[in-house]
Structure formats: structure tokens, C-alpha cells
Amino acid sequence: MRQVLLKIKYLGTNYHGWQVQDNAVTVQEKLQDAIEEILGERLDVTGCSRTDAGVHAGEYCCTIKTESSVDCFKLQGGLNAKLPEDISVFSVSDVDLDFHPRYSCKGKQYIYKIQNSAAKDPFLLGRALHYPQSLDATLLDKAAKDFVGTHDFSAFCGAKSDIEDCRRTIFDASVTRDGDLVTFSVTGDGFLYNMVRIMVGTLLFINEGKIAPDAILAILSGKDRTSAGRTAPAHGLYLNKVYYGGDAIGKEEV
């Protein structure tokens, strides 16, 4: 028996998230289909996290356990030949049997893309939030720094979550602009349900004057979801990097 680590990229537009569901097409299902075609058996695919419908991934890590001796390079090529064009396997490697893509994870980086211009860019449809209002990236970058540190993020957690311990550590948070594209980047040891999307919604409320620029620490302390901003749409969100032992967790080029 061996365990194989697959690193994949995908556009989430056509999928109802990562995890297999009875009445919806998911990324995990498509990957299982391709693996079955190559290896001749229906294998469990264990992922590093769940992603919601419409969310994308620049790096998503998952594993399979198999007795097949297929070469990693050949497995990668075979899977990419079978997978839809919006899912790609960019790395295949053998890992120890005790490795777990979720529980061995030391941190993740998410990015959220905002297209900030009066006219929509059709090439970013479903891949960035169109935000036509004026957006002060410098102001929001300063405000985002208040997310850094270890906090109780109850105010930034979706209602569907049943997690009791909402303490998470954020290592880095920033807002940058490149022309009309504004990117929120956040790296942490873990994230709650809808946490990044609520962070973005809160920053947009700050931009709109609905929340004070220095209010984030008070919102964190209050632990009240209603004091934070709206939940930003899923289609601007990307799981960008997954960190394991030996990886340096910090700022990434995005």
C-alpha cells in the first residue's frame, strides 16, 4: 500500500464545491472518476479542506491510497488527459502513509480578487468580484493588518458553522492593487466557515464608510457576527497555497 499526494488547480465555477454530493457535480467526484479510469478502482480521495460552490483553487492538496505501482509522472499525465479542462493536476508524489492532507496542514493562504472598475471585464466573469465603486486599497491594507495575530474570529464565522473553538492565528493580511485588480491576501493556521469572505465584506463596508477603519479589533473582541460586514460572493475566492512541515509560512507572491 502507498499513499499518493495530488496537488491540483481548479476553477470552481462549474462545481458545487469540493466534496461529493448526491445531487450536484463536485471537484472531488470528477477527480474520483478520472482516477477510476486510470487505476480501474473507485478510490477515496481525501482533501485538505472543503471549498464552497464557485470557489477556486490555485493549490488544493488531496491524497489517495492504492496498491497500484503506477509511476507518478504517468499518473499525472493520465489524470490530466481524463479530467475536465477546468481541473488540472500539477504535481503527483508519494508521501508517508501517516500523512494527512488536512491534519498535517500547518497553514493556508487564501486570496480574494476584486475587479474595481466602472465597466465589467468579461474575462474575469466568475473569477473576481466586480466592484464599480471607488476603492481605497491603501486604506483597506492598513485596516487588514488588524486581522493579524491570534484572535477569536466568532464575528467572522458563517451561521452554518458548529465549531466551538473559533480562535485562529493570522500570520499575514494585505490588500494590494494592480491596475483595476485589487487582491486581498490572508495567511493563517486555519479558517472558519465563510471567514475570508466575511473579512472581505467587512473591508468593503470600511471602504463604504459603514464601518470605521479602526473597528476590526473591536469587532473581533465583541464576537458578534452582526457587527462585521456582509459575506462577499464566493466567486472571488481562491485557496492559493497549502503549507505543510518544512514550508515557510508567510507572504507569497500573488
> CB of 232 within 8 A of CB of 158?
no
Q: One of 33, 44, 52, 189 is an active-site residue; which one?
A: 52
Report yes or no: 129 and 182 within 8 Å, Cβ to Cβ: no
Burial class from Cβ neighbours inside 10 Å (0-12, 13-18, 19+) for residue 138 reads exposed
**Secondary structure class of 212 (helix, strand, coil):** coil
Angle between helices 72-82 and 27-39 (to 10 degrees): 120
Q: Do strands 237-243 and 56-66 pair parallel, antiparallel, or not at all (unpaired)?
A: parallel
CA distance 56 to 15: 10
**Position 50: which residue type?**
R
Angle at 76 between CA 70 and CA 77, to 5 degrees: 100
Report yes or no: 60 and 7 within 8 Å, Cβ to Cβ.
yes
Q: What angle do CA 182, 111, 10 make, to 5 degrees?
A: 115
Contacts of 18 (CB under 8 A, 6+ apart): 26, 27, 28, 47, 49, 50, 51, 60
**What 8-state DSSP symbol labels residue 234?**
G
Q: Is 214 a catalytic residue?
A: no
Please list the active-site residues: 52
